Structure formats: structure tokens, C-alpha cells
Amino acid sequence: MNRKNVRKRSLGREFALKALYLRDIRDKLDDDQLRLLAQTEDLQNIPVFGKELIDGCLAELEQLDGIIQKVATNWRLERMPNIDRNILRIGAYELMHCPETPHKVIINEAIEMSKTYGTEDSPNFINGVLDQIYTEYSAPLRSDQTMQEQHSKLYPRLSNPEFKSNPDKKADLHLHSDASDGELSPEAVVIKAKECGLDAVSLTDHDSVEGVRDAIETGKKMGIAVIPGVEMSAYLHSPNGSKEHELHILGYFIEENDKELNEELEKLRHVRIERVRKIESKLAECDIHLDGERIINEHYSTVGRLHVAQELLKMGVCKTINEVFEKYLGTGKPAYVPKEKLSVRRTIYLIHQAGGCAVLAHPGLTEGIENVMEKIEQEGIDGIEVHYPEHDAKTEAFWMDTARKNDLAITGGSDFHGERANNVTLGQETVSFVEISRLLEKADSYRRR
């Protein structure tokens, strides 16, 4: 782009800023007002680029204001200075809709306008907000076309292969079906998600990918995207070795037919079955007799201590799940049987080699996890589940900051198991397709290795 054209675009931005400023004051903006503004500015005509920016900002005003408000968390949009607000609208529009212009040019131009027309504090404010908009919203969007082409080749079975970086499209990325410990079938989970108005979901059953295919096929019929996923338990010792942390790691965009992943999941399944049989024998020594084989047959894919505990409740042995674990199934108790454990490194490796990206699930539920976060990052974690029903505002802010500082993807989901299971609703926690695009970008990097 030659210097003459650069100057024209700068004049166009300034014209758009003044026009949008007038609109905010007068609550309207028509062609007559634009022509009068051009005359006032000693311009022969309304700048073409300026008119494009004005029309674009007004057409996308709701989306732009929504993004600005999400990023500028300490400022209410209506309380921002008029000049700053409209510089941000123009900058955000260019970042989101003008991929031919380098983002550094867009941000620098906005800063220069803020120096001329704003306050002493405007340049730093404008720079910070636009830089974050670029990082969280624009960067994935600018590579979106190439990414969609790759995605269509890598994930042809998905019901919606075009995950455009649309902040208005919502997804719940943490759902369980009866392929593990959920109440609903994979098909029913997807149908319910569609009824809730979601645009995408991920089925993330515990140590199981058996429901993924049915979920994807249902998604195709229902017009909702289904991301193949899994949730796996992993273990990591603290730096001094004094404490072992149990972590849950979510895998997204995995190839559910991957041979090595399925062999590991099958191995874990057999280990769980044998563990239940050993628990049955230990309970018999306590004069508690349950039908272990029936429990195994009913919950074959992910049978575990919880299913045994539920059976003991039905038998009237205890009144609560906590009581069962405190008396019989907890560590060191009469019917306790240790389980075979996957390391964090092994778990992340399995997800990566299956073409997926690995996300740390609900970190706020694991005491002291922040002390081993550096080690988790070293093992190759790709993202953090920031948005989760049991994360309060302080917890969410901490993990959001951790993700941003370490360039990790941000995800969220309800951890829905069913209406009666964990007192949450499907779609209670969501992220947008902007976050999904970031996950897909990371998953693509492992597919191309």
C-alpha cells in the first residue's frame, strides 16, 4: 500500500470517528449530516474508506459493543468517553472485518487518533483494549478461512465443520452421557443441547469415547456441531513429592477411533472391573454382600467406586455417599482398593497423538493445583477450563489470568450429567466459537505433526 493510500485511510478513520461521535450526541446519522461534515472538514467528498467504516460499525454495532464491553471489564460502555468509545468501535471493526490491514497498523492508527482527540489516558486505554480484542477475537478470525479448509479435511464427519470465530455462537464443552456416568444417551444429550439453543457441544465422557459417533450423527440431523471429546483422570506429585494431585484432563477434537487411545481406555476399563471385584471381596469380609457382576454389567464402560457406593445406598448400608466413602471405600478404609493411575504426561500424550488438544478441567476444585501449574504446563497442557459452575468470580478471574499469561486456550462447560445428577443445567456455562477456533487451531497443530 503506497503512502498516498495510507494517508487516505488515516483521513477516512478520522472522518468516521467524527461522524460516529456526532451520532452518539444526536442519536442519528444520515447522508445529509455526512455531507455537511465533509464540507466542514474542507473535503470535496465523503471519504470512501470513512463511509465503509461508518456503515460497517453501525451494521455490526451490537457485536462490537459486546466485544468491547467483555474486554474492558472495569468500564461500562456508556460511561466511556465518547471519543474513546468510538475509536474502539472503529479499531474493533477493522480488526474483525478488515483482514487485509495488518493488526499493528490498525492499533497504531487508533492510538494516534486517541493522542489527537482523546485525553491523556486515552492512548494506553485504547492500546490495552484493542490488543486484547486482537488476541482473543481477531487473531483466530484472521486465519479462519484457511482454518476452515483444514478443518473440513481433518473433521469431515462433524455436523458443522465451519467453526467461524463468531462471539455470538455458544457452546457447552463439558457434557456426559450414559456412555460413562451420565443419565442421558449421547443422542438425547445432543437433542437437549439443541433445545437449549446451543450451537455446539462436546461430549466428554469419563475414559470413554463410545458415545461420540452417535452424538456426531445426531448433531448432523439436528444442525448442531458436536466436537469429539473425552475426560481422563491423571495424577501428578507436588514438587517436593509430599502430595499427589488427581487432575481431570479434557481432550477435544480427538480422533475417537485412534488405536493407541482406545487401547489405553480398554486397559483402564479392565482395571476398573477388577477393582470392583476386589472391593466386592473386601466388603464381603465386612459382612456386606453385593452383586458386583451386576454393577459391572450395568456400568461396564466406566464402572467405579461411585457405582458401588450408590448400590450400598440402595441396600441401606449407609445414608449418604460421603458416609460410604468415610466408612468403607475411602483411602485406608476396609474396602479401599487403590487404582492404576495415568500420569499427566501420559494422558496429555495420548490426547495429542490422537490429534486432540488437552485442557485442564475445573482447576478450582483441586486444592493446591496452582502450586503444580508450572509442571502441568511443562507436560504440554493446551488450555484451562475457566468457566465452570462451581468456580466463583474470584476463582474464574484467577484462572483466566493464568491462561492469558501462559498463552493457554480458555474453555468452559457445565459438566452436565443429567437433571438429577449434579444440580446444573445443560448450557449453564458456555464459551463462544472464538474459543473453539483457538482449540481447533491447537488441535490442528498436532494433526499436522
Tell me the per-residue pLDDT of 379-425, one tens digit each, with 9 for 90 and over: 999 999 999 999 999 999 999 999 999 989 999 999 999 876 667 89
- For the ranges 29-38, 143-152, 371-380, 408-417, which has the lowest average pLDDT? 143-152
Mean pLDDT score of the chain: 87
| Domain of 251, in residue numbers | 155-258+354-447
**CATH number for the domain including 98?**
1.10.940.10
Residues 113 and 15 in one domain: yes
Question: Within 10 A of 400 (CB to CB), how many other CB atoms are there?
Answer: 16
**pTM, 2 dp:** 0.63
Last residue of a domain, one of 118, 142, 166: 142
Q: Pick the last residue of a domain from 290, 314, 329.
A: 329
Question: Cα–Cα distance between 352 and 380 in angstroms, integer?
Answer: 9
Local confidence band at 150 (pLDDT 50, 70, 90 cut-offs): very low
Under DSSP, is residue 247 helix (H, G, I), strand (E, B) or coil? Answer: strand
Sign of the alpha-carbon dihedral angle for 320, 323, 328, 329: positive
Instruction: Provide the residue type at 356 as one letter.
Output: G
Average pLDDT, stretch 427-442?
Answer: 89
Question: Does 238 score more than 60 pLDDT?
Answer: yes
Shared domain for 250 and 313, answered yes or no, is no
Do the domain assignments include residue 322? yes
Look at 154 and 180; give whichever has higher pLDDT.
180
How much is the pLDDT for 9? 83
d(CA 59, CA 29): 13
For residue 187, being part of any structural domain is answered with: yes
Which residue type does 273 have? I
Query: What is the arithmetic mean of pLDDT over 63-87?
Result: 89
The residues, ordered by sequence, that sit 6+ positions from 105 with a Cβ below 8 Å of its Cβ are none
Residue 31 has pLDDT above 50, yes or no: yes
Among candidates 125, 58, 117, 119, which has minimal Cα distance to 93? 58
Retrieve residue 275's grid coordinates.
477393582
* Burial category of 242 from C-beta neighbours within 10 Å (exposed 0-12, middle 13-18, buried 19 and up): exposed
Report whether 165 contacts 141 (CB < 8 A): yes
Last residue in a domain, options 89, 107, 142: 142
Asked whether residue 46 is domain-assigned, the answer is yes
Q: Indicate the angle between helix axes 305-314 and 259-285, nearest 10 degrees.
A: 40
How would you class 372 by CB atoms within 10 Å of its CB: exposed for 0-12, middle for 13-18, buried for 19 or more? buried
CATH, residue 362: 3.20.20.140
If asked whether residues 363 and 420 sit together in one domain, one would say yes
- For the beta carbon of residue 10, count every other beta carbon within 10 angstroms: 16
Is residue 270 classed exposed, middle or buried when 0-12, 13-18 and 19+ CB atoms within 10 A define those classes? exposed
**Residues 168 and 201 occupy one common structural domain:** yes
250 with 272, same domain? no
Q: In whole angstroms, how far apart are CA 419 and each of 192, 333, 409?
A: 11, 31, 29
In a domain, 231, yes or no: yes
Q: 357 pLDDT band (50/70/90 cuts)?
A: very high
| Dihedral sign (CA 381, 422, 417, 386) | negative
For residues 390 and 421, membership in a common domain is answered with yes
Pair 315, 419 in one domain: no
* pLDDT on residue 151: 45
Q: Which residue has the cell 471385584?
A: 277
- CB under 8 Å to 160, separation ≥6 — which residues? 199, 200, 219, 223, 224, 225
For residue 339, being part of any structural domain is answered with no
Dist CA 257 CA 261 (whole Å): 8
DSSP secondary structure, 340-393, as one string: ---BHHHHHHHHHHTT-EEEE--GGGSTTGGGGHHHHHHTT--EEEEE-TT--H
Is 343 contained in some domain?
no
Give per-residue pLDDT as tens, 260-274. 999 999 898 888 889
Domain presence at residue 387: yes
